[in-house]
Chain A
Amino acid sequence: MAELDPLTITAIMFLSMLALMALGAPLAWALTICGVWSAYAIYGDGGLDLLVSSTFSAMDNFLLVALPMFIFMGLVLQRSGITDDLFEMIHKLMGRLPGGLGIGTVIICALIAAMAGVSGAATVSLGIIALPAMLKRGYDARLVTGTIMAGGALGFLIPPSVLMIIYAFLSRDSVGKLFAAGLVPGLMLAGIYIVYILVRCRINPQLGPPAEEQFTAMEKVKSLRFLIAPGLLIFTVLGCIIGGVTSPSEASAIGAFGSLLIAAVQGRLNWDMLRYVMITTTKLMGMLMWITIAAVFFSKIYVGVGAGMVVGELIEDFEVAPMMVIIAMLATYFILGMFLDDFAIVFITVPLFVPIVRELGFDTTWFAVLFILSMQSAYLTPPFGYNLFYMRSVAPNSISIGDIYWAAIPFVVLQIIGLALVVAFPQIALWLPNLIF
């Protein structure tokens, strides 16, 4: 076994893992089973000890303390009705504009993204609150569902971002730097969505008819009060991280504490909500930790076999243009994104790709942003895409799964345009971190 060349061993490892996943094995199980089998075959008993050392490394990392904190914060906000308030605000402010509610939805998504570490929170809550409201006013179902799904995926790109924390843990980049790098591309993508909605509604006003309700100037100004609490929270948490006042982990605790404070001030903090938030955080972190352990272990084995080295040498030997390597990696991400979960992709590919990216002389912070942009598409591409599932679970039955798939496609194209812009102009991502740090 040990005499097989590294690429063959790696190929066997990956294929058996994919086979187990096809059987429906939980990712953590698929990775651990293949990892234990490969470790034993390649290293004997000593290799199995990598499982325990990987476990302890995954547990003993101050950086990752931010994960449960940001998840906790997102759940509190989701339960404290911030989405309802914000939708009421954009309804008053922008309802009269053709496509205005759609544009407002993108803005709400960006605001929620700046408060929540995971994607999905915005999709679910807007799917429940904004979707029926917009359908009732005659908005096009596909445009609306697409907007909510794509906007919801912004959660990973606009900081804070759980996926970025995990990427930084694996690539040894700085969390603060990644957060700063995601902000401008995130706002740019939101801008692209807004322009798209505006253009489509300009061409065909039937897609987003203006609302009939009229509001006075006073009512409009008053509705801005809903921005105060989220604005304060976003300013504090991102200010602490990007301004470097505290470490990201400490800022995440401020965020979690602040979200409880806001809920309490608004009179929405209660025992049921707190219990739901605590228990849901527990369930999500159990999943994340066990995947982390399994994936760190699995990747140690193929690193130990020397797979990364061989891939690097192959690239050298074939004299592939460095940019082609990056494009090939992004294409890989796109294809993996159709079938796999984003956490699976980050754990499997980062230890393999990032050393090569570094070797080729690219900025790993820039590559992190490209990766996150690709993962946004993964949330929207069929057959396996979380936001498709979330949308299905909250959309009325009149919207078919086919509608949802079709709705996602134009936004995936917009995401690819955004990705291409960041590939062509790395400064979009790197300008802010270079400015601050």
Chain B
Amino acid sequence: MTTAETTAGATLPAPAASEPSRWKKIKEGLSFFSRSKVALAGLILVGFWVLIALFADNCLITPRCYVGMVQGDDITQWATSEEYQSWLSRYSPVEQFRGRNREGPSADHWLGTDTRGRDIWARLAHGSRSILTLAPISVIVALIVGGTLGLAAGYFGGLIDEVMMRILDAIISFPQILLYLVIIAALGASATNVVLAITIAGAPGIARLVRGLALDIKTRDYIAAAQTRGESPWYIMFVEILPNARGPIIIDSMLRMGYAVFSIGTLGFLGLGLPPPSPDWGSIVQAGRSAIQAGRPWEALWGSIAIAMVVVGLNLIADGLAEESQRYR
């Protein structure tokens, strides 16, 4: 505790005459991880999978691979094309090794093979992509929707606030898993619908948070100044209020990111995730579940470990951030 306090004091930005350079800002951001061991552990867990996702195959230098990703969840088309090369994943995620079904870890297949004889490590490496892109996208969409609603409710107040909050309260009182189930069951399982479901479930919470912050900030003098200047309400909301509310929103988004990964994994596990043969982590656990009792738990086990790593990592980072912000208070 004492060391943390002294370091925190030392890094407090000195009243500098000029704006700090971009490099300095990045360095400051990184020094947060060296201060908080918890956050560092989280960064390592998440960073591992980010690296794997980036360098699983030669996707980064082959623009054509993005087309396949965007067009659908059909990974087969890309992974069987001629340009495809395995890098960190070692094998193609759809290649089936005959006669090597449900094997345990070996030198050939580090994590073993699944029911169809596919390399589990290759599937997990490719599966990290969908989960690491869908989670931030859904959080950002939820932030845009929830943030706008919350800002409007908090800033305008009155009837808008009352009506909006009652509706959002009703959504919050609804168990989230049911929201997912009903939405996905009605609309079908696809990447877009997963994002939609997480947005609908997450936006009310964000709106509540942002509304609270907006209610507080709108009493400040600089808001009154902006109003006197004759700025439009939207300018005040997005340029004056929003940047000053960013601290709690960032911490909340980090937690939500963890929860989004959690939800995407859960949806996959329940059979509502990305359709096969997409190497969705939740679906991998679901597929391997039946083999656990037969003494071949590898597929389910590694899938669970991968998801747990990312969710726990994101939560640790959020926890570190929250602790850090409390220290300054």
A, B co-complexed = no
Task: Please give the residue numbers on chain B whose beta carbons come within 8 Å of chain A beta carbons, in ascending order.
Answer: none
Task: Please give the residue numbers on chain A whose beta carbons come within 8 Å of chain B beta carbons, in ascending order.
Answer: none
